[in-house]
Chain A
Protein backbone atom coordinates (compact mmCIF):
# COMPACT_ATOMS: atom_id res chain seq x y z
CA UNK A 1 0.00 0.00 0.00
CA UNK A 2 1.36 3.41 -0.93
CA UNK A 3 0.99 6.20 1.60
CA UNK A 4 0.82 9.96 1.68
CA UNK A 5 2.84 11.99 4.13
CA UNK A 6 -0.19 12.39 6.40
CA UNK A 7 -0.76 8.66 6.60
CA UNK A 8 2.87 8.04 7.51
CA UNK A 9 3.00 10.83 10.06
CA UNK A 10 -0.15 9.73 11.83
CA UNK A 11 0.95 6.09 11.80
CA UNK A 12 4.11 7.17 13.52
CA UNK A 13 2.27 9.30 16.07
CA UNK A 14 -0.44 6.74 16.82
CA UNK A 15 1.59 3.55 16.62
CA UNK A 16 -1.04 2.10 14.30
CA UNK A 17 -0.48 0.86 10.77
CA UNK A 18 -2.52 0.74 7.60
CA UNK A 19 -4.38 3.97 8.32
CA UNK A 20 -6.83 5.16 5.69
CA UNK A 21 -8.40 8.61 5.26
CA UNK A 22 -11.48 9.09 7.43
CA UNK A 23 -10.25 6.85 10.23
CA UNK A 24 -10.03 8.41 13.70
CA UNK A 25 -6.94 7.62 15.75
CA UNK A 26 -5.48 8.57 19.08
CA UNK A 27 -2.20 10.30 18.27
CA UNK A 28 0.64 11.32 20.57
CA UNK A 29 2.09 14.69 19.52
CA UNK A 30 5.79 15.36 19.92
CA UNK A 31 5.14 18.95 20.93
CA UNK A 32 2.20 20.98 22.25
CA UNK A 33 2.59 24.64 21.42
CA UNK A 34 0.53 27.24 23.21
CA UNK A 35 1.07 30.97 22.75
CA UNK A 36 -0.21 33.76 24.99
CA UNK A 37 -3.40 31.68 25.24
CA UNK A 38 -1.41 29.41 27.59
CA UNK A 39 -3.06 31.15 30.54
CA UNK A 40 -6.35 29.60 29.46
CA UNK A 41 -4.76 26.15 29.49
CA UNK A 42 -3.34 26.78 32.97
CA UNK A 43 -6.70 27.98 34.30
CA UNK A 44 -8.38 24.94 32.74
CA UNK A 45 -5.82 22.64 34.34
CA UNK A 46 -6.49 24.27 37.71
CA UNK A 47 -10.21 23.70 37.21
CA UNK A 48 -9.54 20.03 36.49
CA UNK A 49 -7.54 19.82 39.66
CA UNK A 50 -4.73 17.95 37.88
CA UNK A 51 -1.08 18.59 38.60
CA UNK A 52 0.59 15.59 36.95
CA UNK A 53 1.60 16.23 33.37
CA UNK A 54 2.21 13.63 30.68
CA UNK A 55 5.57 15.00 29.56
CA UNK A 56 6.54 18.53 30.43
CA UNK A 57 9.34 18.46 27.84
CA UNK A 58 6.74 18.39 25.08
CA UNK A 59 5.20 21.67 26.25
CA UNK A 60 6.28 24.83 24.45
CA UNK A 61 4.96 28.25 25.49
CA UNK A 62 5.65 31.46 23.66
CA UNK A 63 4.35 34.87 24.77
CA UNK A 64 3.81 36.27 21.28
CA UNK A 65 0.26 37.68 21.14
CA UNK A 66 -0.32 40.94 23.10
CA UNK A 67 3.38 41.19 23.91
CA UNK A 68 4.31 43.20 25.92
CA UNK A 69 1.06 43.30 27.85
CA UNK A 70 -1.31 46.19 27.15
CA UNK A 71 -3.42 46.01 30.30
CA UNK A 72 -3.15 44.91 33.91
CA UNK A 73 -5.22 41.86 32.94
CA UNK A 74 -2.92 40.68 30.14
CA UNK A 75 0.13 41.45 32.29
CA UNK A 76 -1.35 39.13 34.90
CA UNK A 77 -1.95 36.45 32.25
CA UNK A 78 1.70 36.61 31.21
CA UNK A 79 2.81 36.35 34.83
CA UNK A 80 0.62 33.29 35.34
CA UNK A 81 2.40 31.61 32.41
CA UNK A 82 5.85 32.57 33.68
CA UNK A 83 5.14 31.23 37.14
CA UNK A 84 3.65 28.02 35.75
CA UNK A 85 6.67 27.46 33.50
CA UNK A 86 8.99 27.99 36.43
CA UNK A 87 7.01 25.75 38.79
CA UNK A 88 6.52 22.89 36.33
CA UNK A 89 9.94 23.13 34.70
CA UNK A 90 8.76 24.05 31.19
CA UNK A 91 12.13 24.53 29.53
CA UNK A 92 10.67 25.59 26.16
CA UNK A 93 9.26 28.80 27.59
CA UNK A 94 9.82 31.94 25.49
CA UNK A 95 8.89 35.30 26.98
CA UNK A 96 7.92 38.67 25.55
CA UNK A 97 10.17 39.79 22.67
CA UNK A 98 11.22 36.26 21.62
CA UNK A 99 8.94 36.50 18.61
CA UNK A 100 6.11 34.58 16.99
CA UNK A 101 5.78 31.07 18.40
CA UNK A 102 5.99 29.24 15.07
CA UNK A 103 9.13 30.97 13.93
CA UNK A 104 10.77 30.83 17.37
CA UNK A 105 10.21 27.09 17.73
CA UNK A 106 11.63 26.35 14.30
CA UNK A 107 14.64 28.62 14.74
CA UNK A 108 15.42 27.00 18.07
CA UNK A 109 15.41 23.44 16.80
CA UNK A 110 12.20 22.30 18.50
CA UNK A 111 10.50 21.23 15.27
CA UNK A 112 11.80 18.23 13.33
CA UNK A 113 10.76 16.32 10.21
CA UNK A 114 8.14 13.65 10.73
CA UNK A 115 6.94 14.98 14.06
CA UNK A 116 3.36 15.68 15.03
CA UNK A 117 2.95 19.18 16.46
CA UNK A 118 -0.27 20.65 17.79
CA UNK A 119 -0.67 24.32 18.60
CA UNK A 120 -3.27 26.77 19.89
CA UNK A 121 -3.03 28.59 16.61
CA UNK A 122 -4.62 27.78 13.30
CA UNK A 123 -1.41 28.59 11.43
CA UNK A 124 0.35 25.63 13.02
CA UNK A 125 0.28 24.19 9.49
CA UNK A 126 3.53 26.16 9.10
CA UNK A 127 5.57 23.33 10.66
CA UNK A 128 5.22 21.48 7.36
CA UNK A 129 8.05 23.73 6.13
CA UNK A 130 10.37 21.39 8.03
CA UNK A 131 8.51 18.27 6.99
CA UNK A 132 6.52 18.00 10.23
CA UNK A 133 2.76 17.49 10.64
CA UNK A 134 1.50 20.66 12.32
CA UNK A 135 -2.13 21.37 13.07
CA UNK A 136 -4.14 23.90 15.07
CA UNK A 137 -6.42 23.03 17.99
CA UNK A 138 -8.28 24.85 20.76
CA UNK A 139 -6.84 25.49 24.21
CA UNK A 140 -8.88 22.72 25.83
CA UNK A 141 -7.17 20.18 23.57
CA UNK A 142 -3.74 21.48 24.47
CA UNK A 143 -4.66 21.22 28.15
CA UNK A 144 -5.91 17.68 27.57
CA UNK A 145 -2.66 16.78 25.79
CA UNK A 146 -0.66 18.17 28.72
CA UNK A 147 -2.47 15.64 30.88
CA UNK A 148 -3.05 12.63 28.63
CA UNK A 149 -0.36 13.12 25.99
CA UNK A 150 -2.78 12.41 23.17
CA UNK A 151 -5.63 13.68 21.05
CA UNK A 152 -7.99 12.24 18.49
CA UNK A 153 -7.24 12.96 14.87
CA UNK A 154 -9.04 12.06 11.70
CA UNK A 155 -6.67 10.76 9.05
CA UNK A 156 -6.98 13.34 6.28
CA UNK A 157 -7.15 12.94 2.55
CA UNK A 158 -4.30 14.67 0.75
CA UNK A 159 -4.01 17.27 -1.98
CA UNK A 160 -0.84 17.52 -4.02
CA UNK A 161 0.17 20.95 -5.25
CA UNK A 162 2.93 20.99 -7.85
CA UNK A 163 4.43 24.41 -8.50
CA UNK A 164 6.90 25.10 -11.29
CA UNK A 165 9.15 28.16 -11.24
CA UNK A 166 11.03 30.40 -11.19
CA UNK A 167 8.70 33.32 -10.49
CA UNK A 168 9.15 36.63 -12.33
CA UNK A 169 11.05 39.44 -10.52
CA UNK A 170 8.89 41.23 -7.95
CA UNK A 171 6.81 38.15 -7.19
CA UNK A 172 7.27 35.96 -4.14
CA UNK A 173 5.89 32.90 -2.32
CA UNK A 174 3.06 35.06 -0.95
CA UNK A 175 1.89 35.84 -4.46
CA UNK A 176 1.76 32.21 -5.49
CA UNK A 177 -0.12 31.26 -2.32
CA UNK A 178 -2.67 34.04 -2.70
CA UNK A 179 -3.27 32.90 -6.28
CA UNK A 180 -3.69 29.32 -5.09
CA UNK A 181 -6.12 30.30 -2.31
CA UNK A 182 -8.05 32.39 -4.80
CA UNK A 183 -8.29 29.42 -7.16
CA UNK A 184 -9.08 26.72 -4.61
CA UNK A 185 -11.17 28.99 -2.29
CA UNK A 186 -11.22 29.28 1.49
CA UNK A 187 -12.51 25.75 2.00
CA UNK A 188 -10.81 24.14 -0.98
CA UNK A 189 -8.57 22.03 1.28
CA UNK A 190 -10.76 21.66 4.38
CA UNK A 191 -9.77 18.63 6.49
CA UNK A 192 -7.01 17.87 3.96
CA UNK A 193 -3.29 17.46 4.16
CA UNK A 194 -1.69 19.74 1.56
CA UNK A 195 1.63 18.61 0.08
CA UNK A 196 3.77 21.08 -1.86
CA UNK A 197 5.99 19.67 -4.62
CA UNK A 198 7.69 20.85 -7.80
CA UNK A 199 10.78 22.70 -8.95
CA UNK A 200 9.70 26.01 -7.45
CA UNK A 201 9.15 24.54 -3.99
CA UNK A 202 12.52 22.79 -4.12
CA UNK A 203 14.21 26.10 -4.90
CA UNK A 204 12.84 27.82 -1.78
CA UNK A 205 14.49 28.44 1.58
CA UNK A 206 12.85 27.05 4.70
CA UNK A 207 11.67 30.57 5.49
CA UNK A 208 9.92 30.82 2.12
CA UNK A 209 8.44 27.36 2.60
CA UNK A 210 7.00 28.65 5.87
CA UNK A 211 4.98 31.18 3.88
CA UNK A 212 3.51 28.37 1.74
CA UNK A 213 2.64 26.11 4.66
CA UNK A 214 1.37 28.94 6.82
CA UNK A 215 -1.08 30.14 4.21
CA UNK A 216 -2.30 26.62 3.37
CA UNK A 217 -4.48 27.09 6.46
CA UNK A 218 -6.40 29.77 4.60
CA UNK A 219 -7.67 27.05 2.22
CA UNK A 220 -8.86 25.12 5.26
CA UNK A 221 -5.93 22.67 5.35
CA UNK A 222 -5.44 20.47 8.38
CA UNK A 223 -1.69 20.43 7.82
CA UNK A 224 0.80 21.26 5.09
CA UNK A 225 4.01 19.62 3.98
CA UNK A 226 7.15 20.28 1.99
CA UNK A 227 9.37 17.21 1.50
CA UNK A 228 12.56 17.54 3.55
CA UNK A 229 15.73 17.90 1.49
CA UNK A 230 19.21 19.37 1.79
CA UNK A 231 17.74 22.83 2.38
CA UNK A 232 15.81 21.42 5.34
CA UNK A 233 18.83 19.56 6.67
CA UNK A 234 21.03 22.65 6.57
CA UNK A 235 18.39 24.69 8.37
CA UNK A 236 18.09 22.02 11.07
CA UNK A 237 21.86 21.81 11.46
CA UNK A 238 21.99 25.59 11.92
CA UNK A 239 19.25 25.28 14.53
CA UNK A 240 21.40 22.80 16.43
CA UNK A 241 19.48 19.65 15.53
CA UNK A 242 21.66 16.54 15.14
CA UNK A 243 21.14 14.67 11.83
CA UNK A 244 20.25 11.48 13.74
CA UNK A 245 17.69 13.36 15.87
CA UNK A 246 14.86 12.99 13.38
CA UNK A 247 13.30 10.75 10.80
CA UNK A 248 12.27 12.21 7.45
CA UNK A 249 8.91 10.97 6.21
CA UNK A 250 8.24 11.19 2.49
CA UNK A 251 5.07 10.31 0.61
CA UNK A 252 5.34 7.20 -1.52
CA UNK A 253 5.44 7.50 -5.26
CA UNK A 254 1.95 6.60 -6.41
CA UNK A 255 0.30 7.65 -3.13
CA UNK A 256 -3.37 8.50 -3.50
CA UNK A 257 -4.40 12.14 -3.65
CA UNK A 258 -7.90 13.56 -3.65
CA UNK A 259 -6.69 16.19 -6.06
CA UNK A 260 -3.50 17.16 -7.86
CA UNK A 261 -3.07 20.84 -8.70
CA UNK A 262 -0.43 21.93 -11.20
CA UNK A 263 0.55 25.56 -10.98
CA UNK A 264 2.93 27.33 -13.32
CA UNK A 265 4.40 30.35 -11.54
CA UNK A 266 6.63 31.51 -14.37
CA UNK A 267 4.23 34.16 -15.63
CA UNK A 268 2.65 35.06 -12.29
CA UNK A 269 1.92 38.73 -11.62
CA UNK A 270 1.85 40.10 -8.04
CA UNK A 271 -1.39 39.13 -6.31
CA UNK A 272 -3.47 40.72 -3.58
CA UNK A 273 -6.38 39.56 -1.39
CA UNK A 274 -9.07 42.22 -1.18
CA UNK A 275 -11.54 42.65 1.74
CA UNK A 276 -12.97 40.73 3.55
CA UNK A 277 -11.86 37.18 2.67
CA UNK A 278 -8.47 35.67 1.93
CA UNK A 279 -9.74 33.91 -1.18
CA UNK A 280 -10.91 37.16 -2.75
CA UNK A 281 -7.72 37.41 -4.81
CA UNK A 282 -6.94 39.59 -7.84
CA UNK A 283 -3.74 40.74 -9.56
CA UNK A 284 -2.35 43.84 -7.81
CA UNK A 285 -2.82 45.88 -10.99
CA UNK A 286 -6.61 45.52 -10.71
CA UNK A 287 -6.74 47.49 -7.47
CA UNK A 288 -3.63 49.65 -8.00
CA UNK A 289 -4.16 53.21 -6.82
CA UNK A 290 -6.38 52.31 -3.84
CA UNK A 291 -5.48 54.84 -1.11
CA UNK A 292 -3.90 53.46 2.05
CA UNK A 293 -3.69 54.74 5.63
CA UNK A 294 -1.43 52.04 6.97
CA UNK A 295 0.96 49.34 5.80
CA UNK A 296 1.85 46.46 8.11
CA UNK A 297 4.83 44.19 7.46
CA UNK A 298 4.52 41.51 10.07
CA UNK A 299 3.07 38.10 11.08
CA UNK A 300 4.15 34.48 10.77
CA UNK A 301 3.31 34.65 7.06
CA UNK A 302 5.75 37.39 6.04
CA UNK A 303 8.01 39.06 8.62
CA UNK A 304 10.95 36.71 8.51
CA UNK A 305 14.40 37.94 7.66
CA UNK A 306 14.10 37.46 3.91
CA UNK A 307 10.76 39.28 3.97
CA UNK A 308 12.40 42.29 5.64
CA UNK A 309 15.19 42.17 3.06
CA UNK A 310 12.61 42.24 0.25
CA UNK A 311 10.91 45.24 1.87
CA UNK A 312 14.23 47.01 2.48
CA UNK A 313 15.29 46.57 -1.15
CA UNK A 314 12.15 48.36 -2.27
CA UNK A 315 12.32 51.03 0.47
CA UNK A 316 16.04 51.81 0.19
CA UNK A 317 16.52 55.48 -0.62
CA UNK A 318 12.77 56.11 -0.52
CA UNK A 319 10.47 57.58 2.11
CA UNK A 320 7.09 56.38 3.27
CA UNK A 321 4.41 58.59 1.68
CA UNK A 322 3.05 61.37 3.91
CA UNK A 323 -0.16 60.28 5.57
CA UNK A 324 0.78 56.60 5.59
CA UNK A 325 1.97 54.72 8.68
CA UNK A 326 4.36 51.88 7.97
CA UNK A 327 4.65 49.41 10.86
CA UNK A 328 7.29 46.68 10.70
CA UNK A 329 7.24 43.91 13.30
CA UNK A 330 10.08 41.38 12.93
CA UNK A 331 8.86 37.80 13.34
CA UNK A 332 11.44 36.86 15.93
CA UNK A 333 14.30 38.04 18.05
CA UNK A 334 16.70 36.29 15.66
CA UNK A 335 15.20 38.14 12.71
CA UNK A 336 15.60 41.44 14.60
CA UNK A 337 19.25 40.61 15.32
CA UNK A 338 20.02 39.84 11.70
CA UNK A 339 18.26 42.97 10.50
CA UNK A 340 20.08 45.10 13.07
CA UNK A 341 23.46 43.70 12.13
CA UNK A 342 23.44 44.18 8.37
CA UNK A 343 21.78 47.51 7.72
CA UNK A 344 18.30 46.21 6.88
CA UNK A 345 16.89 47.75 10.06
CA UNK A 346 18.63 51.05 9.31
CA UNK A 347 17.11 51.14 5.84
CA UNK A 348 13.64 50.58 7.27
CA UNK A 349 14.07 53.24 9.97
CA UNK A 350 15.46 55.80 7.53
CA UNK A 351 12.53 55.19 5.19
CA UNK A 352 10.20 56.15 8.03
CA UNK A 353 9.03 52.76 9.31
CA UNK A 354 7.92 52.33 12.90
CA UNK A 355 9.69 49.22 14.16
CA UNK A 356 7.86 47.37 16.90
CA UNK A 357 9.28 44.55 18.99
CA UNK A 358 9.32 40.95 17.69
CA UNK A 359 6.00 39.16 18.10
CA UNK A 360 2.58 39.01 16.45
CA UNK A 361 2.10 42.77 16.78
CA UNK A 362 -0.78 44.25 14.86
CA UNK A 363 -1.81 40.87 13.42
CA UNK A 364 -3.00 39.79 16.87
CA UNK A 365 -4.51 43.13 17.76
CA UNK A 366 -1.56 44.63 19.62
CA UNK A 367 -1.27 47.85 17.71
CA UNK A 368 -2.21 48.88 14.22
CA UNK A 369 -5.91 49.26 14.99
CA UNK A 370 -7.89 51.19 12.41
CA UNK A 371 -10.72 53.71 12.71
CA UNK A 372 -13.85 53.74 10.53
CA UNK A 373 -13.10 53.98 6.84
CA UNK A 374 -9.36 53.36 7.11
CA UNK A 375 -7.47 50.96 4.87
CA UNK A 376 -4.45 48.77 5.67
CA UNK A 377 -2.28 46.74 3.35
CA UNK A 378 -0.83 43.90 5.39
CA UNK A 379 1.59 41.04 4.78
CA UNK A 380 -0.32 38.91 7.31
CA UNK A 381 -2.64 36.03 6.54
CA UNK A 382 -6.14 37.27 7.39
CA UNK A 383 -8.25 40.18 6.19
CA UNK A 384 -11.51 39.41 7.95
CA UNK A 385 -13.84 42.28 8.78
CA UNK A 386 -12.88 44.00 12.02
CA UNK A 387 -9.68 42.02 12.55
CA UNK A 388 -7.67 45.24 12.84
CA UNK A 389 -10.04 47.57 14.66
CA UNK A 390 -13.20 49.06 13.20
CA UNK A 391 -15.75 46.82 11.51
CA UNK A 392 -15.87 49.61 8.91
CA UNK A 393 -12.19 49.35 8.01
CA UNK A 394 -10.55 47.33 5.25
CA UNK A 395 -7.58 45.00 5.02
CA UNK A 396 -5.74 43.96 1.86
CA UNK A 397 -3.10 41.20 1.93
CA UNK A 398 0.06 41.07 -0.17
CA UNK A 399 3.74 40.21 -0.35
CA UNK A 400 6.31 42.39 1.46
CA UNK A 401 7.41 43.76 -1.93
CA UNK A 402 3.92 44.99 -2.77
CA UNK A 403 3.52 46.32 0.77
CA UNK A 404 6.78 48.29 0.61
CA UNK A 405 6.07 49.69 -2.87
CA UNK A 406 2.61 50.73 -1.75
CA UNK A 407 3.98 52.42 1.39
CA UNK A 408 6.19 54.62 -0.80
CA UNK A 409 3.38 55.62 -3.13
CA UNK A 410 0.65 55.84 -0.46
CA UNK A 411 -1.62 53.65 -2.53
CA UNK A 412 -1.67 50.05 -3.69
CA UNK A 413 1.23 49.65 -6.11
CA UNK A 414 2.65 46.82 -8.18
CA UNK A 415 6.24 46.45 -6.91
CA UNK A 416 7.37 45.76 -10.47
CA UNK A 417 6.54 49.40 -11.24
CA UNK A 418 8.86 50.60 -8.47
CA UNK A 419 11.70 48.16 -9.05
CA UNK A 420 11.75 48.79 -12.78
Chain B
Protein backbone atom coordinates (compact mmCIF):
# COMPACT_ATOMS: atom_id res chain seq x y z
CA UNK B 1 0.00 0.00 0.00
CA UNK B 2 0.98 3.62 -0.43
CA UNK B 3 2.80 5.24 2.44
CA UNK B 4 4.56 8.58 2.74
CA UNK B 5 7.48 7.52 0.54
CA UNK B 6 5.92 4.58 -1.26
CA UNK B 7 3.73 4.95 -4.32
CA UNK B 8 2.56 2.55 -6.99
CA UNK B 9 -0.03 0.07 -8.22
CA UNK B 10 -0.99 -1.32 -11.61
CA UNK B 11 1.38 -0.36 -14.41
CA UNK B 12 1.20 0.30 -18.12
CA UNK B 13 4.34 -0.28 -20.18
CA UNK B 14 5.84 1.55 -23.16
CA UNK B 15 8.95 1.11 -25.32
CA UNK B 16 12.04 3.26 -25.91
CA UNK B 17 12.14 6.94 -26.97
CA UNK B 18 8.56 7.86 -26.06
CA UNK B 19 8.49 11.54 -27.01
CA UNK B 20 6.59 14.51 -25.64
CA UNK B 21 4.46 14.88 -28.78
CA UNK B 22 3.11 11.41 -28.11
CA UNK B 23 2.66 12.03 -24.37
CA UNK B 24 0.79 15.30 -24.87
CA UNK B 25 0.38 16.69 -28.43
CA UNK B 26 1.35 20.35 -28.87
CA UNK B 27 -2.18 21.39 -29.84
CA UNK B 28 -3.31 20.89 -26.21
CA UNK B 29 -0.64 23.08 -24.62
CA UNK B 30 -3.10 25.97 -24.40
CA UNK B 31 -4.12 24.35 -21.12
CA UNK B 32 -2.20 23.82 -17.88
CA UNK B 33 -5.05 22.03 -16.10
CA UNK B 34 -3.99 18.45 -15.21
CA UNK B 35 -7.48 16.98 -15.63
CA UNK B 36 -8.02 18.61 -19.02
CA UNK B 37 -4.55 17.60 -20.19
CA UNK B 38 -5.10 14.02 -19.00
CA UNK B 39 -7.93 13.61 -21.51
CA UNK B 40 -5.39 13.95 -24.31
CA UNK B 41 -2.43 12.12 -22.77
CA UNK B 42 -1.08 9.52 -25.23
CA UNK B 43 -3.82 10.40 -27.71
CA UNK B 44 -1.68 9.47 -30.75
CA UNK B 45 -1.58 5.88 -29.46
CA UNK B 46 -5.36 5.52 -29.51
CA UNK B 47 -8.26 5.28 -27.04
CA UNK B 48 -7.37 1.82 -25.72
CA UNK B 49 -3.98 3.01 -24.48
CA UNK B 50 -5.64 6.11 -23.02
CA UNK B 51 -8.21 4.01 -21.16
CA UNK B 52 -5.49 1.77 -19.76
CA UNK B 53 -3.42 4.79 -18.75
CA UNK B 54 -6.26 6.19 -16.67
CA UNK B 55 -6.72 2.80 -15.00
CA UNK B 56 -3.02 2.61 -14.09
CA UNK B 57 -0.90 4.14 -11.34
CA UNK B 58 2.57 3.64 -12.77
CA UNK B 59 4.05 4.25 -16.22
CA UNK B 60 6.94 1.94 -17.09
CA UNK B 61 9.06 2.72 -20.13
CA UNK B 62 12.32 1.93 -21.86
CA UNK B 63 15.14 4.30 -22.67
CA UNK B 64 14.88 8.06 -23.13
CA UNK B 65 11.34 8.49 -21.86
CA UNK B 66 9.98 12.01 -22.50
CA UNK B 67 12.46 13.03 -25.16
CA UNK B 68 11.59 16.13 -27.15
CA UNK B 69 10.09 19.37 -25.92
CA UNK B 70 10.58 21.14 -22.62
CA UNK B 71 6.79 21.14 -22.18
CA UNK B 72 6.02 20.63 -18.52
CA UNK B 73 2.55 19.38 -19.42
CA UNK B 74 4.13 16.03 -20.38
CA UNK B 75 4.42 15.42 -16.66
CA UNK B 76 1.27 17.26 -15.57
CA UNK B 77 -0.97 15.27 -17.91
CA UNK B 78 0.25 12.01 -16.33
CA UNK B 79 -0.51 13.35 -12.86
CA UNK B 80 -3.96 14.33 -14.13
CA UNK B 81 -4.45 10.77 -15.39
CA UNK B 82 -3.74 9.41 -11.91
CA UNK B 83 -0.15 8.31 -12.46
CA UNK B 84 1.96 8.50 -9.28
CA UNK B 85 5.30 7.26 -10.61
CA UNK B 86 7.23 6.70 -13.82
CA UNK B 87 9.88 3.99 -13.90
CA UNK B 88 12.08 4.01 -16.97
CA UNK B 89 15.38 2.61 -18.19
CA UNK B 90 16.37 6.25 -18.69
CA UNK B 91 14.77 9.69 -19.04
CA UNK B 92 15.35 12.66 -21.25
CA UNK B 93 16.75 15.27 -18.91
CA UNK B 94 14.02 17.88 -19.34
CA UNK B 95 11.29 15.35 -18.61
CA UNK B 96 13.09 14.24 -15.49
CA UNK B 97 13.35 17.83 -14.24
CA UNK B 98 9.73 18.52 -15.05
CA UNK B 99 8.61 15.38 -13.21
CA UNK B 100 10.40 16.38 -10.00
CA UNK B 101 9.25 19.98 -10.39
CA UNK B 102 5.60 18.98 -10.74
CA UNK B 103 5.73 16.38 -7.95
CA UNK B 104 5.76 13.21 -10.03
CA UNK B 105 8.08 10.39 -8.88
CA UNK B 106 10.48 9.50 -11.72
CA UNK B 107 12.92 6.67 -11.19
CA UNK B 108 15.60 5.17 -13.40
CA UNK B 109 15.95 1.42 -13.12
CA UNK B 110 16.67 -0.54 -16.30
CA UNK B 111 16.62 -3.78 -14.30
CA UNK B 112 13.16 -3.16 -12.90
CA UNK B 113 11.87 -2.27 -16.36
CA UNK B 114 13.06 -5.62 -17.69
CA UNK B 115 11.31 -7.47 -14.86
CA UNK B 116 7.95 -5.70 -15.23
CA UNK B 117 4.90 -7.36 -16.82
CA UNK B 118 2.49 -5.04 -18.60
CA UNK B 119 -0.51 -4.60 -16.30
CA UNK B 120 1.33 -5.98 -13.25
CA UNK B 121 1.98 -4.22 -9.96
CA UNK B 122 4.94 -1.89 -9.46
CA UNK B 123 5.76 0.03 -6.29
CA UNK B 124 8.42 2.66 -5.71
CA UNK B 125 9.84 3.57 -2.30
CA UNK B 126 11.86 6.63 -3.18
CA UNK B 127 13.19 7.19 0.34
CA UNK B 128 14.62 3.69 0.51
CA UNK B 129 15.58 3.75 -3.19
CA UNK B 130 13.74 0.58 -4.08
CA UNK B 131 11.48 -0.45 -6.98
CA UNK B 132 9.32 -3.46 -6.12
CA UNK B 133 8.14 -5.69 -8.95
CA UNK B 134 6.29 -8.69 -7.53
CA UNK B 135 8.71 -10.25 -5.07
CA UNK B 136 11.74 -8.70 -6.69
CA UNK B 137 13.48 -5.63 -5.31
CA UNK B 138 15.58 -3.30 -7.47
CA UNK B 139 17.73 -0.66 -5.89
CA UNK B 140 18.31 2.80 -7.33
CA UNK B 141 20.24 5.79 -6.03
CA UNK B 142 17.84 7.75 -3.79
CA UNK B 143 17.13 11.36 -4.74
CA UNK B 144 19.56 13.99 -3.50
CA UNK B 145 18.08 15.92 -0.59
CA UNK B 146 17.38 19.04 -2.70
CA UNK B 147 15.26 17.13 -5.18
CA UNK B 148 13.44 15.09 -2.56
CA UNK B 149 12.38 18.26 -0.75
CA UNK B 150 10.87 19.63 -3.94
CA UNK B 151 9.16 16.35 -4.78
CA UNK B 152 7.66 15.94 -1.32
CA UNK B 153 6.32 19.48 -1.32
CA UNK B 154 4.34 18.54 -4.42
CA UNK B 155 6.61 20.29 -6.90
CA UNK B 156 8.77 23.36 -7.26
CA UNK B 157 6.07 26.02 -7.10
CA UNK B 158 4.36 24.36 -4.15
CA UNK B 159 7.78 24.17 -2.48
CA UNK B 160 8.52 27.86 -3.03
CA UNK B 161 5.06 28.86 -1.84
CA UNK B 162 5.56 26.75 1.28
CA UNK B 163 8.95 28.36 1.89
CA UNK B 164 7.51 31.83 1.40
CA UNK B 165 4.72 31.20 3.89
CA UNK B 166 7.32 30.04 6.41
CA UNK B 167 9.01 33.36 5.83
CA UNK B 168 12.25 31.56 5.15
CA UNK B 169 12.90 33.03 1.75
CA UNK B 170 11.26 36.39 2.14
CA UNK B 171 14.43 38.08 3.34
CA UNK B 172 16.62 36.51 0.70
CA UNK B 173 14.28 37.35 -2.13
CA UNK B 174 13.77 40.93 -1.10
CA UNK B 175 17.50 41.45 -0.82
CA UNK B 176 18.00 39.85 -4.16
CA UNK B 177 15.31 41.89 -5.81
CA UNK B 178 17.15 45.03 -4.93
CA UNK B 179 18.31 45.02 -8.52
CA UNK B 180 21.23 42.66 -8.59
CA UNK B 181 23.39 43.68 -11.47
CA UNK B 182 23.61 41.23 -14.32
CA UNK B 183 27.38 40.91 -13.99
CA UNK B 184 28.73 37.60 -12.88
CA UNK B 185 30.72 39.06 -10.03
CA UNK B 186 27.65 40.23 -8.18
CA UNK B 187 25.99 36.88 -8.80
CA UNK B 188 28.60 35.30 -6.62
CA UNK B 189 27.84 37.68 -3.79
CA UNK B 190 24.19 36.79 -4.02
CA UNK B 191 24.94 33.10 -3.88
CA UNK B 192 26.37 33.01 -0.41
Contacts and interface: CB of A to CB of B under 8 A. Distances in A.
Interface of A: 12-15, 24, 26, 28, 30, 37, 40, 43-44, 47-50, 52-55, 57-58, 71, 73-74, 77, 114, 119-122, 124, 136-141, 143-144, 147-150, 152, 186-187, 190-191, 220, 222, 247, 277, 279, 364-365, 382, 384-387, 391
12 contacts: A28-B187, A48-B161, A49-B164, A50-B164, A114-B184, A137-B98, A140-B155, A141-B97, A141-B101, A152-B147, A385-B21, A391-B43
Interface stretch (B1-9, B52-60, B65-73, B128-136): B65-73
B101 A138 contact: yes
Interface string B67-90: 111111001000000000000001
B68 A122 contact: yes
Contact of A24 (B147, B160, B169): B147
A128 B173 CA distance: 30
Interface string B96-130: 01100110000000000000000000000000000
Contact of B102 (A140, A384, A391): A140
B89 to A, nearest CB: 9
Given A277-B17, A391-B44, A139 B92 contact: no
B172 to A, nearest CB: 8
Interface residues of B, number: 55
B3 to A, nearest CB: 26
Interface in B142-192: 144, 146-147, 155-157, 160-161, 164, 169, 172-174, 176-177, 179-180, 182, 184, 187-188, 190-192
A413 B157 CA distance: 49
B187 A73 contact: no
A247 to B, nearest CB: 7
Contacts of B180: 54-55, 149
Given A13-B184, A138-B94, 11 more contacts: A13-B187, A26-B146, A53-B177, A74-B30, A137-B97, A140-B98, A141-B101, A220-B93, A364-B26, A384-B20, A391-B43
B101 A140 contact: yes
B176 A190 contact: no
Contact of A190 (B92, B161, B177): B92
Question: Main SS of the interface on chain A?
Answer: loop
Contact of B72 (A14, A43, A139, A364): A139
A47 B157 contact: yes
Contacts of B139: none
A68 to B, nearest CB: 15
A4 to B, nearest CB: 17
B93 A222 contact: yes
A73 B94 CA distance: 27
Contacts of B101: 138, 140-141
Nearest to B101: A140
Contact of A365 (B27, B93, B179): B27
B179 A220 contact: no
A186 B147 contact: no
Contact of B144 (A24, A122, A190): A24
A376 to B, nearest CB: 14
B63 interface: yes
Contacts of B157: 44, 47-48, 140, 143-144
Given A15-B191, A55-B180, A186-B64, A138 B173 contact: no
